[in-house]
Amino acid sequence: MKISVFLLATALSLCTTATLLAQAQNLQSTPRQLLRVETRTLAQPTLQKFLELNLDVTDFDAEQHSFEIIATPSEREQLERLGVRYRVLNENLEAYAQTLRAQGYLDHFHDYSRTLTELQDAEELYPALAKLVDIGDSWEKTQGLADRDIWALKISDNVQNEEGEPEVLIMGNHHAREIITPGIVLDYMNYLLENYGSDPYVTHLVNNREIWLLPTVNPDGLDYVFQQDLWWRKNRRNNGNGSYGVDLNRNYGFKWGYDNVGSSPNGYSETYRGTAAFSEPETAALRDFVSAHRFRVSLSYHSYGRWMIYPWGYVQQTTPDHASFVALADSLIFYNHYRRGLSGETVGYGVNGDSDDWLYGEQSTKNKILAMTPEVGNAFHPDTTQIAGLILENRGANLFLTYAAGEEPIVTHQPLSDTEDSVGPYRVVAKISSPIVLTQPVSLAHDKILLHYNTTGAPPFQSVPMSATGNPQEYAGEIPGVGEDQQVYYFISAADDSGRTGHAPRAASGGAYFAFHVGADNIAPVVVHRPLGNQSVRRNTFAFHAQVTDNTGVATVQLFYRQNAGAWSEVEMTAPAQDEYEASVQPASAQVGDRFDYYLLATDNSARANTARLPATEHYSFTIVNSLLYDFEPDDGDLITTNPSDWEWGAPTSGPQQAFSGAKVWATKLGGNYSDLSDSKLDLPPIDLTNVQNSTLTFWHWYVMEHSDGTYWDGGNVKISVNGGPFEIITPEGGYDGIVTSPDPVNVLLNEPVFGGPATNGNVWQQEVFDLSAYAGQTIALRFHFGSDGYVTEPGWYIDDVEITLGGSQAPVIINTTRWRNTNNLAGPYLVASHITDDGNTHTAVLKYSTDNGANHVALAMSRLAGSDDFSANIPGQLAETEVRYYVEAKDDDGNLTRDPANAPLGFYHFMVTNRVADIDVQPEQLAFNLGPGSVAVDSLLVFNLGLLDLHFTITDTVTTALQAIHAADNAYGDLVQRLRLNEKAAPSHTAQRAVKHTLFMLRNAPRGAAVSWLQVGIDSALVEGEQRLVVPLLVNTAGLQDGTHLAQIVFHSNDPDEPVTTVPVELVIRGTGVGEHSAAPPQTIALRQSQPNPFRGSTMIQYELPVGISGEIKLAIYNLLGQQVRVLVQGE
């Protein structure tokens, strides 16, 4: 389920007494709203008055000088009286919360119960690594209102012992509504426990640290969010004056109550600091817990804003350890790409009594702790598709924080490449520096910088000292020659005067080492290249780019190309940067329809001169098409922009920070955000379509524009003018993102469809396609029109590679392309044929195939069968277990292009080359029926193909001609089987098989000579594709049978080479009728209801119905996807 939600931020929340009283009285009659307030233009006195309103601020954008606030109608009136302009981003937060609950949105997060269960499970599953500790009670537990504790989980190798190892503290959920944060802490817990022993880095950290994890500091508040109020922030203390809750992150002792801006003395405020420092049992528990340990570093997760915030918070001044805070923050945000700073530099205001200031600032009753706050994501309630990413982006930060707690010397080294030099020595160079200082700076022990090596990859290692080279922080050592054909393993260690030792790799103590091979090299270079698409006839230079790497180094990279199947030419590719290669081709002439073929050849530095060719066989191809092309590389394309205008031409330094191709683009701003109230037009030169039958506009663009909750405040669109007439909007094939809604101040594109929105809409280069065929025969002008309102700006709109095709005919039509099924023919070839027609002439037909999941495609020219429209090409044989993806591409003389499938290369045909033959599995393995005389029972078998090749089977010896049946009318709950007279005709077998594939129930006659009269099978033969299953319906009819036991077997004859015959025994027991036994007639109506809830945790309700008056045996059971019975729920009379 995907639930799109608007942005709500975490930060300071300051609410007035009147506001919260109104909320407490009736949230539904006076619903809270989300507002955006722009403060850029406010005079200082007005700004001060605005801040003194103590509104519930959820987000601050320092660049835009705008706040997002949760406000009641009375607070909106206060803003209006001050003359502060605002925009309503969401009209009714209560209704919005109800919608989220109804959609099951909260199921994606951890409530208190689920959090505790995961903690308990971790301790139970990993008792040697995890220890769960109750460090205190919530406020409601102290009052006897609930039973919620504050839990901390310790992770270490000797978890029951206190070994004096560096301690790390990671917390979440000080603020109740920040429900993403418990999941981040629990994810780190699971990652450490599940990867210990297999991941050397994790193993090293767990062996050498004591890691304490607290998923929720505010269990009462978290429960209240899940049960009552999605926007609740504080704990649940009854303040005694009608207000509830204390902001736990304003209740710590350092500079508690420093002023009434960074916290509030008002119980109704969202930042109410409480009656005294540590007045709350939750913060008091944290105080006592922390004071009993010696933590060096801490992260307290909040949401949102994508910030990394460090002290001080109570004043906007740096700490004496500011350099260490900056270094540590820079290391953490390397992983999640957040921005760092003090609270005033990030969330826009000061805070006092918060956890970070106390953890760092209180140094008399405990040690100093470098504590920081990550503000996660861009919303309290992120889109469900973003939750996993928000959690994952912080895993690296948690790992580095844990590593940094050791204060080990930092060793950086560029690993050695493989070599054919068997004599040696092999010089190892590293840079060694002091760690981020968390406690006291300690000097390096220069005599304890060592290089360790061996040829086994396991201890013991030989060690040699490394000495200073004279370059800053640089040390070198040598590994002696080890002879031919050896794998050399090595690592570097560096100790300081206190005995702390750092390594490269960092996890060397956990078994991670560098390695290089000594001996003959037979490993070819690795070449990565994005094949060129068709090129415009107006482009006089074709640029080629590739990434090439090799274990011994790259000697040369060559480009081979030819035009119209002529002689091959060669160009040496050059390396403007490491592993990057480029070349350009300027043909003497190129006409529409010309075809260029090319391939790349890379050679390494080894004695064998290993080569890699891309593609491995055949070549890539592109065709010259009739089009106008604007790539903006040599010049601006003579595009015209209005004055004033945000449109600029050149190399971008903001937004995508690079062009889609080449170096230059047109952008609303090349460096920075677009302007407020922008009305920016960018016009292409007039385009003559008078001799054109069809035309297409394509371009690549990147964009991020102001947007919230489905509302598009800013955006851009494309307009067309025909024969000098007015400009009108044209629509791309995929449509626009939305419609501009910005009445005050007005956006010039008000009510027009636009490209726009957040990073989830743009933020990647994507192509747009416009069909201009309706304007054929006329002269047109095209315009890129961008508009913004008077609030908030974003990076904007970046445009590259604008192309207008000028086609003279319709595009080719491709049908009847060969659809290969999975095959065990490794030798190949695999013939692919297509029928291709065109109203002009099909110039080229190309079969493109990939064996690396679509990363690269090989282009094969398809040959035409003389006198026909049939084209074919052979895909060469492949290794076993290779998936082959392929599609066909046809182009006519006018450059019109068609692909089959139409959405290729995203869409494709495919098959597996595999040795996994058909593998039959029939479930259940036996059947038993216990029925009364004259009864009918319906059952089924599941036939699985566990292999990849097609499974063919027939069923014999199962039914007799004495009883025939056909499909009867379906009722609401299932299928009925109707008895036929002997002179009636049964359904033909092919009809029966088609019906079964669509899960209908159809019986037919068996082959003559079958021996069992009471058992009928719905099909007698079928095909099951690889890793698929098929339901085989069965009917048992006891009419005319004597009491007692009847035995039969169902026999499957298949092409499974290991099990060509599969037998399922069937037992039927018939007991005499008597009082209270089965009715002879089967139920005409039964029902099995959807389980509620579904999905579920713990329990669910399953309801079934039978008609009144029907007696007999009933069985209700659960089966897994393999058809295996998991549990019998009901069985009996």
Question: How many helices (H) and strands (E) would you count in the chain?
Answer: 16, 71
Say if CB 829 and CB 876 are below 8 A apart: yes
Q: What mean pLDDT comes out for the span 333-359? A: 87
Residue with more model confidence, 660 or 1094: 660
pLDDT band at 85 (very low <50, low <70, confident <90, very high): confident
Q: pLDDT at position 1020, please?
A: 84
Give all domains of the chain, ordered by start, each with its CATH number: 105-404 (3.40.630.10), 410-518 (2.60.40.10), 529-625 (2.60.40.10), 629-807 (2.60.120.200), 813-913 (2.60.40.10), 920-1080 (2.60.40.10)
| Bond from prior residue into 304 cis (ω within 30 degrees of 0) | yes
Cα–Cα distance between 261 and 153 in angstroms, integer?
35
Whether the pLDDT of residue 1016 is over 80: the answer is yes
The CB density around residue 893, as the number of other CB atoms within 10 Å, is: 19
CA dist 800 → 160, 616, 698, 706, 784 (Å) = 61, 31, 10, 21, 12
pLDDT band at 631 (very low <50, low <70, confident <90, very high): confident
Q: pLDDT at position 995, please?
A: 28
pLDDT band at 1120 (very low <50, low <70, confident <90, very high): low
Cα–Cα distance between 101 and 841 in angstroms, integer?
59
HSE at residue 156, side-chain half, CA atoms within 13 A, is: 20
Which region among 167-171, 270-274, 792-796, 1051-1055 has the lowest average model confidence (pLDDT)?
Answer: 792-796
Whether the pLDDT of residue 1009 is over 60: the answer is no
Chain-centre distance for alpha carbon 1117: 36
* DSSP letter, residue 248: G
Mean residue pLDDT across the chain: 84
Q: β-pairing, 1104-1105 with 1087-1088? A: antiparallel
Copy the structure tokens of residue 763.
């933020």
Q: pLDDT at position 429, please?
A: 97
Whether the pLDDT of residue 833 is over 90: the answer is yes
Q: Which residue has the tokens 């393993």?
A: 489
For residue 107, give every residue at least 6 positions away whose Cβ sits within 8 Å of its Cβ, in sequence order, or none: 1095
Residue with more model confidence, 963 or 551: 551
pLDDT band at 810 (very low <50, low <70, confident <90, very high): confident
| 132-159 residues labelled b (16+ CB within 10 A) or e (exposed) | beebbbbbbbeeeebebbbbbbbbbbeb
Q: What mean pLDDT comes out for the span 921-947? A: 89
Q: pLDDT at position 84, please?
A: 87
- Which of 717-731, 922-936, 949-963 holds the top average pLDDT? 717-731
The residues carrying an active-site annotation are: 375
Q: pLDDT at position 987, please?
A: 34
Q: What mean pLDDT comes out for the span 895-919? A: 88
pLDDT band at 20 (very low <50, low <70, confident <90, very high): very low
Q: What mean pLDDT comes out for the span 679-694? A: 91
Cα–Cα distance between 347 and 303 in angstroms, integer?
11
DSSP collapsed to 3 states, 263-289: CECCCCCCCECCCCCCCCHHHHHHHHH
CA dihedral 1043→1049→1050→1056, nearest 10 degrees, is 170
Nearest CA to 1028 out of 921, 912, 945, 949 is that of 945
Cα–Cα distance between 1054 and 1032 in angstroms, integer?
15
pLDDT band at 970 (very low <50, low <70, confident <90, very high): very low
Q: What mean pLDDT comes out for the span 67-93? A: 85
Say if CB 263 and CB 352 are below 8 A apart: yes
* DSSP letter, residue 657: S
* DSSP letter, residue 419: B
Q: β-pairing, 620-625 with 595-604? A: antiparallel
Q: pLDDT at position 537, please?
A: 83
Q: What mean pLDDT comes out for the span 936-959? A: 84
For residue 1099, give every residue at least 6 positions away whose Cβ sits within 8 Å of its Cβ, in sequence order, or none: none
pLDDT band at 618 (very low <50, low <70, confident <90, very high): confident
Q: pLDDT at position 1097, please?
A: 46
pLDDT tens digits, residue range 464-520?
999 999 999 999 999 999 998 999 999 999 999 998 999 999 989 888 999 999 999
Whether the pLDDT of residue 986 is over 60: the answer is no
Q: pTM, whole model, 2 decimals?
A: 0.61
Q: What mean pLDDT comes out for the span 97-112? A: 92
pLDDT band at 840 (very low <50, low <70, confident <90, very high): low
- Which of 997-1006, 1053-1062, 1074-1083 holds the top average pLDDT? 1053-1062
Which region among 21-35, 118-132, 180-194, 527-541 has the lowest average model confidence (pLDDT)?
Answer: 21-35
815 SS3 class = strand
Q: pLDDT at position 912, please?
A: 92
Residue with more model confidence, 360 or 864: 360
Which region among 478-482, 537-541, 888-892, 1046-1050 has the lowest average model confidence (pLDDT)?
Answer: 537-541
pLDDT band at 696 (very low <50, low <70, confident <90, very high): very high
pLDDT band at 1101 (very low <50, low <70, confident <90, very high): low
Cα-trace Rg, the chain: 36
Which region among 109-113, 303-307, 576-580, 1120-1124 has the lowest average model confidence (pLDDT)?
Answer: 1120-1124
Copy the structure tokens of residue 457.
């990859």
pLDDT band at 849 (very low <50, low <70, confident <90, very high): very high
Nearest CA to 421 out of 481, 348, 375 is that of 481
